[in-house]
């Protein structure tokens, strides 16, 4: 019999908890009171000031009650095979495994609670009844750029976290998809990028403590895999910004043969989740699950698709970049790593910088990737490297499709340009734009483009940059105009989001670079494509990848929705999104529903190796 003991997180606290424990462990409680400067027993049992539900008090109180409960249970029943903890509960799991003593645990969660209670205003909500993939797809295709997936608790229970106004505005999107939306009573966006400052401060605080080697296995929230025995401080800090992968964690334990689950602490929330997960565990890659169930399911999905559709590789542009994109693949997939290193070597010769070092430097993960001289070539390299992964698996496209910057990747994969020449052009374009066309931006609007045409005064000074699907378009303008437009749209309850782009692509702001860009592009060697290539700018096939074409890619609007419709009407296609976010795949989903077959290879929420593995299984079945 294999057993896991799990410790609950914030939300499981209740007035009166631990009443008997405080007397049995009076010595430990006295030392905790000295650390905290107040009485734990009074807070937990009586809560005279009504503060038990406030984060700064909840965290040390809940840690203490769960830790003392563990000590009693250990003395009575021995120890389990594995420990796990949900969010705050992970500190209890580490305490149980010997990482630190009780007083240190109190000090750590006290600091964590104080920092989190002082974080910038944010919000969280539970989305019930929708799968993880559905929630991710909805967010990826929406303008809610400041919302993250915070908890994946079970097959149909997710928690989202982020900007207060965006959490409030996104409820109709999930309700329309069939989900139930429940706002959580918290003041900040826990387990999201909004907590980056808290993570940094907590990591600095944590560095002042000595962490002992673990004497037992502990499952980490942010990896769904066991902690290393030593050198694990980074994992403790990272869980503040990273999602709680509870569904995957429990599914992996079930696949390993765990058959007994015990919740150690107040409440039975985790017990209920475990029962749901046991009935429908996550489909894990074959090497994890020990079966080919995931591959069988993928094969069944392919069998239901139109017979022998044309395979179209798609590549996206600016706005889809972020630090650490593809990092897991770089660390685990030899073909992906070799392709990224090939591009990095070219980039190094052109700029004197290391793209890989900057992109995967942990010190940068709290920053937005807005340096166009890094983001442009990094986006190209990700698309190129993902393509090499598919080619290595014997998967070859029948055609390629480029969206804005993605047309450079399409030109390379189609055989019209060498990788080095395409990257030279990408870097040169970025250099010109950064020097001559700053101060702008782009705004995504979740409304039909007819809204712009019907309100010309509202959009004064804006240029239509792209139409992605019937309910989403993007405009370019200077930064001040975009901020004013966003305020006006907010007043009309029209959802919009300023993209992480500091330049007004597909607008007259680019005209300043035209002459120099054309001269440079004209000197590069290009030839006829050996694969059909489609341009989202042209909404049709590419006649030739030359200087005129690449200039129009920068300057003219993108008509992605129109292009996909035209291709779909001509013959059945399967569109594979080889970009960092899966955004193009999501555009197709919300533009065409189930009528067009598509799949993504990556997204900004992690688990890239599993996503690519699943995609390869689908395409080779």
Is residue 342 located within the same domain as residue 239? no
Distance in angstroms (rounded) separating the CA atoms of residues 408 and 315: 9
Has residue 295 got a pLDDT over 50? no
Has residue 305 got a pLDDT over 70? no
Among 241, 267, 282, the domain boundary falls at 282
Classify the C-alpha dihedral 473-474-477-479 as positive or negative. positive
Distance in angstroms (rounded) separating the CA atoms of residues 39 and 231: 34
Q: Spell out the SS3 assignment of 429-498.
A: HHHHHHHHCCCEEEEEECCCCHHHHHCCCCCCCCEEEEEEECCEEEEEEEHHHHHHHHHHHHHCCCCEEE
Q: Is the pTM of this model over 0.85?
A: no
Closest CA to 166 of 120, 117, 124, 119: 124
Distance in angstroms (rounded) separating the CA atoms of residues 396 and 571: 18
Residue 562, domain member (yes or no): yes
* Window from 163-177, 298-312, 559-573 with minimum mean pLDDT: 298-312
51 band by pLDDT with thresholds 50, 70 and 90: very high
* Window from 26-30, 75-79, 210-214 with minimum mean pLDDT: 75-79
Closest CA to 124 of 150, 153, 143, 86: 150
Average pLDDT of the residues in 249-269: 94
Q: Are 373 and 434 in contact (CB under 8 A)?
A: yes
The residue with greater pLDDT, 137 or 385, is 385
State residue 590's pLDDT score. Answer: 87
Has residue 605 got a pLDDT over 80? no
Is residue 207 located within the same domain as residue 262? yes
Is residue 16 located within the same domain as residue 45? yes
Distance in angstroms (rounded) separating the CA atoms of residues 319 and 328: 21
Is residue 208 located within the same domain as residue 330? no
Angle, CA of 27, 28 and 34, to the nearest 5°: 95
Has residue 38 got a pLDDT over 80? yes
Has residue 594 got a pLDDT over 90? no
Query: DSSP label at 222?
Result: T
Q: Which of 12, 25, 86, 87 is catalytic?
A: 87
Distance in angstroms (rounded) separating the CA atoms of residues 325 and 339: 14
State residue 1's pLDDT score. Answer: 66
Residue 209, domain member (yes or no): yes
What is residue 283's three-state secondary structure? coil
Q: Which helix (H) or strand (E) holds 148?
A: strand 147-154
Domain region containing 486: 439-501
Is residue 418 located within the same domain as residue 516? yes
Residue 146, domain member (yes or no): yes
Is residue 519 located within the same domain as residue 554? yes
Q: Looking at the chain, how many residues does it have?
A: 621
Active site residue 561: no
Is residue 536 located within the same domain as residue 398? yes
Distance in angstroms (rounded) separating the CA atoms of residues 104 and 111: 11
What is residue 260's three-state secondary structure? strand
Q: Which of 191, 428, 506, 561 is catalytic?
A: 191
Distance in angstroms (rounded) separating the CA atoms of residues 503 and 483: 14
Q: Are strands 310-315 and 399-402 parallel, antiparallel or unpaired?
A: parallel
Q: 161 to each of 113, 168, 191, 434, how far by Cα in Å?
A: 17, 11, 7, 33
Among 138, 154, 183, the domain boundary falls at 183
Is residue 95 located within the same domain as residue 207? yes
- Quick one: residue 173, left, alpha or beta (phi over 0 = left, psi -120 to 50 = alpha)? alpha
Q: 363 to each of 317, 368, 580, how far by Cα in Å?
A: 25, 12, 20
Order of strands, sheet of 597-600, starting from the edge strand that comes earlier in the sequence = 540-541, 533-535, 399-402, 310-315, 573-577, 597-600
Count structural domains, the chain: 4
pLDDT per residue over 413-434, tens digit each? Answer: 999 999 999 999 999 999 999 9
CATH number of the domain to which 76 belongs: 3.40.366.10
Is residue 477 located within the same domain as residue 511? no
Closest CA to 579 of 308, 365, 384: 384
Residue 291, domain member (yes or no): no
17 band by pLDDT with thresholds 50, 70 and 90: very high
Q: Residues of the chain with pLDDT > 70: what percent?
A: 96
Closest CA to 416 of 314, 534, 312: 534
Average pLDDT of the chain is 91
State residue 344's pLDDT score. Answer: 95
State residue 285's pLDDT score. Answer: 67
Distance in angstroms (rounded) separating the CA atoms of residues 325 and 457: 39
Has residue 457 got a pLDDT over 50? yes
Distance in angstroms (rounded) separating the CA atoms of residues 498 and 166: 12
Is residue 239 located within the same domain as residue 336? no
pLDDT per residue over 308-343, tens digit each? Answer: 689 999 999 888 888 999 999 999 999 999 999 999
Residue 25, domain member (yes or no): yes
Residue 536, domain member (yes or no): yes
Residue 603, domain member (yes or no): yes
State residue 579's pLDDT score. Answer: 92
Q: Are 560 and 290 in contact (CB under 8 A)?
A: no
Active site residue 320: no
Is residue 606 located within the same domain as residue 459? no
Q: Are 581 and 468 in contact (CB under 8 A)?
A: no
State residue 509's pLDDT score. Answer: 94
CATH number of the domain to which 445 belongs: 3.30.70.250
Is residue 136 located within the same domain as residue 106? no
Average pLDDT of the residues in 220-243: 92
302 band by pLDDT with thresholds 50, 70 and 90: very low
Average pLDDT of the residues in 257-277: 94
Among 501, 532, 549, the domain boundary falls at 501
State residue 347's pLDDT score. Answer: 95
CA dihedral 611, 614, 615, 618 (to 10 degrees): -160
The residue with greater pLDDT, 606 or 443, is 443
Angle, CA of 6, 8 and 10, to the nearest 5°: 160
Q: 288 to each of 167, 256, 428, 531, 610, how far by Cα in Å?
A: 34, 9, 44, 37, 10
Has residue 292 got a pLDDT over 50? no
Closest CA to 199 of 100, 115, 121: 115
Residue 294, domain member (yes or no): no
Instruction: Name beta bridge partners: 441.
Output: 477
pLDDT per residue over 113-157, tens digit each? Answer: 999 999 989 999 999 999 999 998 898 888 898 899 999 999 999
User: Which residues, 6 or more positions from 592, have their beta carbon under 8 angstroms from its beta carbon?
Assistant: 469, 564, 565, 568
The residue with greater pLDDT, 301 or 387, is 387
Place of tokens 């799990």: 6
Has residue 294 got a pLDDT over 70? no
State residue 301's pLDDT score. Answer: 38
């Amino acid at each position: 019999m294999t057993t896991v003991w799990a410790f609950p997180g914030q939300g499981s606290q209740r007035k009166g908890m631990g009443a008997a424990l405080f007397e049995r462990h009076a010595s430990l409680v006295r030392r905790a009171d000295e650390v905290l400067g107040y009485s734990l027993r009074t807070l937990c049992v009586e809560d005279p000031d009504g503060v038990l539900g406030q984060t700064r008090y909840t965290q040390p109180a809940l840690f203490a009650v769960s830790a003392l409960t563990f000590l009693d249970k250990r003395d009575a029943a021995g120890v389990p095979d594995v420990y796990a903890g949900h969010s705050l509960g992970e500190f209890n799991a580490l305490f149980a495994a010997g990482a630190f003593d009780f007083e240190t645990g109190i000090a750590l969660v006290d600091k964590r609670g104080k920092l989190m209670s002082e974080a910038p205003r944010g919000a969280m909500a539970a989305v019930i009844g929708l799968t993880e993939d559905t929630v991710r797809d909805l967010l990826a295709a929406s303008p809610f750029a400041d919302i993250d997936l915070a908890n994946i608790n079970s097959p149909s229970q997710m928690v989202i976290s982020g900007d207060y106004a965006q959490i409030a505005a996104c409820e109709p999107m999930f309700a329309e998809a069939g989900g139930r939306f429940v706002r959580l009573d918290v003041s900040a966006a826990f387990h999201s990028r909004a907590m980056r400052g808290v993570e940094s401060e907590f990591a600095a605080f944590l560095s002042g403590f000595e962490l002992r080697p673990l004497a037992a296995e502990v499952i980490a929230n942010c990896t769904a895999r066991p902690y290393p025995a030593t050198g694990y401080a980074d994992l403790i800090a990272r869980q503040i910004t990273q999602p709680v992968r509870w569904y995957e964690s429990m599914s992996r334990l079930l696949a390993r043969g765990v058959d007994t689950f015990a919740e150690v602490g107040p409440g039975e929330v985790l017990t209920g989740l475990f029962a749901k997960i046991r009935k429908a565990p996550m489909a894990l890659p074959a090497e994890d699950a020990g079966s080919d169930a995931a591959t069988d399911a993928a094969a069944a999905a392919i069998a239901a698709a139109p017979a022998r559709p044309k395979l179209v590789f798609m590549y996206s542009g600016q706005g889809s970049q972020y630090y650490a994109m593809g990092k897991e693949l770089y660390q685990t997939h030899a073909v992906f790593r070799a392709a990224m290193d090939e591009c990095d070597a070219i980039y190094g010769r052109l700029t004197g910088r290391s793209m890989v070092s900057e992109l995967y430097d942990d010190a940068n993960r709290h920053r937005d990737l807005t340096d166009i001289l890094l983001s442009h070539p990094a986006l190209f390299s990700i698309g190129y490297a993902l393509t090499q992964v598919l080619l290595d698996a014997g998967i070859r496209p029948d055609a390629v499709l480029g969206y804005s910057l993605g047309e450079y990747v399409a030109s390379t994969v189609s055989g019209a340009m060498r990788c080095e020449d395409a990257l030279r052009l990408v870097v040169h374009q970025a250099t010109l734009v950064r020097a001559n066309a700053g101060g702008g931006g782009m705004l995504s609007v979740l409304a039909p483009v007819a809204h712009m045409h019907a309100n010309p005064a509202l959009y004064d000074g804006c240029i239509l940059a792209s139409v992605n699907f019937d309910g989403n378009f993007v405009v370019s303008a200077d930064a001040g105009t975009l901020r004013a437009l966003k305020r006006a749209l907010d007043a009309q309850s029209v959802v919009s989001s300023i993209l992480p782009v500091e330049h007004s692509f597909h607008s007259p702001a680019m005209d300043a670079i035209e002459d120099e860009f054309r001269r440079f592009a004209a000197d590069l060697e290009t030839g006829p494509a050996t694969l059909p290539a489609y341009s989202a700018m042209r909404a049709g096939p590419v006649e030739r990848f030359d200087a005129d074409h690449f200039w129009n890619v920068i300057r003219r609007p993108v008509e992605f929705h129109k292009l996909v419709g035209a291709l779909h009407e001509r013959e059945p296609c399967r569109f594979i999104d080889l970009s960092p976010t899966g955004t193009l795949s999501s555009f197709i989903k919300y533009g065409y529903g189930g009528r067009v077959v598509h799949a993504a290879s990556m997204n900004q929420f992690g688990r890239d190796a599993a996503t690519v593995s699943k995609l390869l299984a689908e395409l080779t079945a």
